[in-house]
Amino acid sequence: MIRTSSPGRRGDHGMVTAELALGSLIVAFLAIACAWLIGIVGTYLACADVAAQVARQRARGDAPAAAAVTARAPFGAQVAVVAGAGVVTVTVSVEARPWLAALPTVPLHASAVARLEPGVVA
């Protein structure tokens, strides 16, 4: 038996290819978006970690250790330390731009507060 294509199905040729191409583009976009988001979250966690460690070291009165931790802050981060009223507050701020310049930047801020140890002067 010889099969012939019906006249109503002629326009369907290539539809699977177009759908696959569109689906592939969507998957690629979602992969880039997820990687960007993971980069942002990683940068925020690094800022929070630096803020907590610097606050802890400053509360202990260990300025050299605090300076060493500050050096591990994400690239372009600004670390602000405010001491007073028996506590030290550290804020780490950065404009996060994970690995692609074409993607938008996100301003991130992380803060930590630590009570000064007895005998430590602010």
Question: How far is the first Cα of the chain from the last one, in angstroms, to the nearest whole number?
Answer: 94
For residue 75, the enclosing domain spans 18-115
pTM confidence score: 0.78
Instruction: Tell me if 88 is assigned to some domain.
Output: yes
Instruction: Tell me if 7 is assigned to some domain.
Output: no
Q: Shortest CA distance to 112 belongs to which of 31, 60, 45, 56?
A: 56
Instruction: Tell me if 72 is assigned to some domain.
Output: yes
Looking at the structure of the chain, the number of domains it has is 1
Instruction: Tell me if 85 is assigned to some domain.
Output: yes
State the Cα–Cα distance between residues 22 and 7, nearest whole angstrom: 26
Instruction: Tell me if 11 is assigned to some domain.
Output: no
Instruction: Tell me if 13 is assigned to some domain.
Output: no
Instruction: Tell me if 121 is assigned to some domain.
Output: no
Task: Give, for all 122 residues of the chain, the pLDDT tens digit.
Answer: 565 555 555 566 667 788 888 999 999 999 988 988 898 999 999 999 999 999 999 999 999 999 999 999 999 999 999 998 899 999 999 998 877 777 788 999 999 999 999 888 76
Residue type at 23?
A: G
